[in-house]
A and B are shown apart, each in its own frame.
Chain A
Amino acid sequence: MSARCGRWLIALLFVLLVAATTTESQTAPPRSSEPVLRLPQIPYRYDNLVELPIHFRQGDAQRFDNTPRDNPITDAGATLGRVLFYDTRLSANGTTSCATCHVQKNAFADPKPGSRGFEGGTTDRHAMNLVNLRYHPRGRFFWDERGGNLEAMVLLPVENRLEMGQDAARLPEILGRDSRYQELFRSAFGDPEITKERISRGLAQFLRALVSYRSKYDEGRAEVPSSKEDFANFTPQENRGKALFLRNCALCHLPDQDAHFVMTEPVNTGLDEDTVATDGGVGDISLNPREVGFFKSPSLRNVEVTGPYMHDGRFTTLEAVLEHYSSGGKKHPNKDIRVQPLNLTASEKAALVAFLKTLTDPHFLNDPRFSDPFR
């Protein structure tokens, strides 16, 4: 019995091994010191505009796209960006990659309030999700919007002395030692030259390719002419939550279209009352007193898995976030007038949470195109 079982087990392992090597293969045999890199023989497709649902392609929604003309998403460029995103050689001591803090199953947010840097330090802000960065119409990034566009911002965490501590000017030399990178750069840009600018452009292409569009919300929205109508695939509670969201939250979080759950500008939502001793967000960069306490809001898509919430991860649950908005937030001279007490009942909060969970996109969270190619 055991010998027969063992033969079956060996056969099964062989089949699994063959299956694994046919779907993803190594681009080139690694040197002994280089991590194994598994990329598909036929590159993944990243420019998925063709299959985006109609509510992404309608006029108002399309205007949210911040893709620059000189750096469109290509399959080879985004593939390069994917490899860079997961490569720990982008940190000074080879321990930390972008993906260390931006975790795919958490919609590329960090499940911890502060992120652990390459030498063990902890950031004072939460690593926000990277969902649909392509559709942030202002094209400015980080909680305080100090990052001017994706191409400009991607190397800031790499160079940050707490986060990855790498001298980005050295990256071409470091990556150039790996012959597989020369091939990746050749595919993406036509020749194998590795430059800091090309590293930025590849990373930016990958980040813009991280588009979530296959949630329960998207499936329901595709079946009706307007998001205001009840969705057939929603429960009554989810539809009730959607109605509450559209009436009380959409003005900021779903502005003028039905696809992008992002805010078009940073605001102060009354998180803190103290105007001096707390994180000033945008105001600490612009030195405009009217912007003290202003923070960028990440996309609400996949918000179920992107906690803890707010710039400092102060709220661990969606219920806590809703409690903040239900109360109307704390007093602050810069608090946005749209943040008013909602006094939500328990069943209204439950309905809103149920609706927010319909924004979870399991395809996005498990998409192999976005996964670690070094595993």
Chain B
Amino acid sequence: MRYSCAALAILLLSTATAAAQDEVRALPTTPNVRSILSLSHQPESRRLGADDVVARLMRFDRNNDFKIEIDELPERMQTLVVRGDRSDDLKLDIAEIRRMTHIGPEVPVLFHSPQFGSYGFGDVFGLSSRTHIENSIDDLRLAPQTALEAKRISLAQADEFDRLAPGFGRQPLTDERRATLIARLSSVLTEEERDNLNAALARRPLVKATGLGLDVLTGNAQTNGLTVDPAVR
């Protein structure tokens, strides 16, 4: 009943705005409809809802009658009219569109602390940076001796970071620490190699908290099949 009233109101309003130009869409005065039709360029944090779906479809309303006729939709979307047209006029009004919308599960978001099943960045969730460092160096495809030396220096520096922050366990690679580490490698790596290593180390691994720990999904902290000399581990 509520939807029928809304549809009737919109129909009346659409009659009043029939003279609107094509380019300048005249909006009815109903605040709800206005807000629906003016949605766009929203911030990333806002979740989309049924109003957004209605607004998306109403942009196809070329004749400004606040109903979507089958020929106003791209062919790939025309089955929507078959699905949702309850008034048998081969058109979709706002109420019919809204009735067809359904809100699925939330899109996963990043968490700031590990909870079971949550996603986040490894450094935030307390992932050790050791594997991250080793794999980043491996990926540079350096000469074996160079790689060994780079790992020795890097891991020693990582130990130093831990020593300087006693009682807090393995320290994440902050921007400042990464800059220090990269600078320590200037005698071993070329400038380009250091740039590539810096980029790789800056790439934050995406992890998922499981009941047993962290599942590393992306980034250089993943365990891989590359051989790492035990002496530098």
Whether the pair B74, A124 counts as a contact (CB closer than 8 A) is yes
CB of A140 within 8 A of chain B?
Answer: no
Number of interface residues of B (CB under 8 A): 58
Binds B, one of A17-25, A48-56, A180-188, A272-280: A272-280
A354 vs chain B, min Cβ distance (A): 12
CB of B150 within 8 A of chain A?
Answer: no
CB of A40 within 8 A of chain B?
Answer: no
Whether the pair B44, A332 counts as a contact (CB closer than 8 A) is yes
Given A160-B75, A248-B219, do A337 and B110 touch, yes or no (CB 8 Å)? yes
Residue numbers in A under 8 Å from B53 (CB-CB)? 283, 287-289, 292
CB of A246 within 8 A of chain B?
Answer: yes
Q: Which residues of A in the span 113-129 have a Cβ within 8 Å of any Cβ on B? A: 124
CB of A340 within 8 A of chain B?
Answer: yes
Whether the pair A280, B56 counts as a contact (CB closer than 8 A) is yes
Q: Determine which of B45, B106, B224 lies in contact with A228 in the assembled complex, contact meaning CB atoms within 8 Å.
A: B224
CB of A327 within 8 A of chain B?
Answer: no
Q: Is the contact region of chain B dominated by helix, strand, or loop, or is it mixed?
A: loop
Binds B, one of A5-13, A89-97, A195-203, A344-352: A344-352
Given A274-B41, A334-B48, A347-B196, do A243 and B139 touch, yes or no (CB 8 Å)? yes
Whether the pair A345, B195 counts as a contact (CB closer than 8 A) is yes
Given A276-B39, A342-B203, do A333 and B44 touch, yes or no (CB 8 Å)? yes
Whether the pair B39, A251 counts as a contact (CB closer than 8 A) is no
CB of B233 within 8 A of chain A?
Answer: no
Whether the pair B97, A287 counts as a contact (CB closer than 8 A) is yes
CB of A370 within 8 A of chain B?
Answer: no
Given A247-B222, A290-B103, do A284 and B77 touch, yes or no (CB 8 Å)? yes
Q: How far is the CA of A336 from the CA of B106 in the complex (A)?
A: 11
Whether the pair B40, A274 counts as a contact (CB closer than 8 A) is yes
Q: Which residues of B in the span 162-213 have a Cβ within 8 Å of any Cβ on A? A: 192, 195-196, 199-200, 202-204, 206
Q: How far is the CA of A130 from the CA of B55 in the complex (A)?
A: 33
Residue numbers in B under 8 Å from A292 (CB-CB)? 48, 52-53, 56
Residue numbers in B under 8 Å from A228 (CB-CB)? 224-226
Whether the pair B225, A226 counts as a contact (CB closer than 8 A) is yes
In the complex, what residue of chain B is closest to A163 when comparing beta carbons? B75
CB of A161 within 8 A of chain B?
Answer: yes
Contact with B along A316-346 (1 / 0, CB 8 A): 0000000000000001111111101011110
Interface centre among B192, B218, B220 (most CB of A within 10 A): B218
Given A283-B56, A284-B76, A289-B101, 19 additional A-B pairs, CB 8 A: A146-B76, A240-B140, A247-B139, A247-B219, A248-B203, A251-B206, A251-B218, A275-B41, A275-B48, A285-B76, A289-B53, A290-B106, A333-B44, A337-B108, A337-B110, A338-B217, A344-B199, A345-B195, A345-B199
